């Protein structure tokens, strides 16, 4: 768990990070149960959200799918794709990420306004995501006085 304030004042930007190790267990990749990443309170502006794979994702069957979004819109950031397509040293920014030396941040992963309860989640469906590790990081700003993003 890491929350680091990068600036202060009205336009403060805060960095929040969380590592998820998928196991296929409850809230860690079992199909039909969201994987909680960040809890959102109040109103916030997500300046950027990154998801960097540090260990290949694996799946319980050939039909597994996983997306990245928020409660109520599970594909807000990344549409559903197969977990086995998310490999080490790749940023998960599309349903089929590629291992390039660098990428342009997609519009869906920056400058996103979220409201209270629109918690950031990964959503495994159809079959379990049984292994792998992703480091999630967001830079965000509060919009309301109670705006906050913390690891879930």
Please report whether residue 126 resides in a domain: yes
Reduce the DSSP state of residue 109 to 3 states and report it: helix
Give me the number of domains the chain comprises.
Answer: 1
Q: In CATH, what number is assigned to the domain containing residue 80? A: 2.60.120
Residue 18 belongs to domain spanning: 2-145
Is the separation of the CB atoms in 98 and 91 below 8 Å?
Answer: no
pLDDT by residue for the chain (152 residues), tens only, comes to 565 565 555 568 999 999 999 999 999 999 999 999 999 999 999 999 999 999 999 999 888 999 999 999 999 999 999 999 999 999 999 998 987 778 899 999 999 999 999 999 999 999 999 999 999 999 999 999 999 999 99
What's the maximum distance between 2 C-alpha atoms anywhere in the chain?
Answer: 49
SS3 label, residue 115: coil
Buried b / exposed e across 102-129, counting CB within 10 Å, b at 16+?
A: eeeeeebbbebebeeebbbbbbbbbbbb
> Is 151 inside any structural domain?
no
């Amino acid at each position: 768990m890491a929350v680091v304030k990068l600036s202060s004042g009205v336009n403060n930007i805060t960095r929040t990070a969380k590592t998820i190790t998928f196991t296929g267990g409850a809230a860690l990749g079992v199909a039909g149960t969201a994987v909680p990443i960040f809890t959102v309170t109040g109103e916030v502006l997500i300046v950027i959200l990154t998801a960097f794979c540090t260990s290949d994702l694996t799946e319980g069957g050939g039909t597994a799918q996983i997306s990245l979004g928020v409660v109520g819109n599970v594909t807000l950031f990344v549409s559903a794709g197969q977990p086995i397509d998310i490999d080490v040293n790749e940023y998960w920014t599309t349903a089929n990420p590629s291992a390039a030396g660098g990428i342009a941040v997609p519009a869906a992963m920056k400058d996103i306004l979220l409201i209270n309860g629109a918690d950031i989640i990964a959503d495994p469906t159809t079959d379990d995501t049984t292994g792998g590790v992703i480091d999630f990081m967001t830079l965000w700003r509060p919009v309301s006085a109670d705006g906050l993003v913390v690891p879930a």
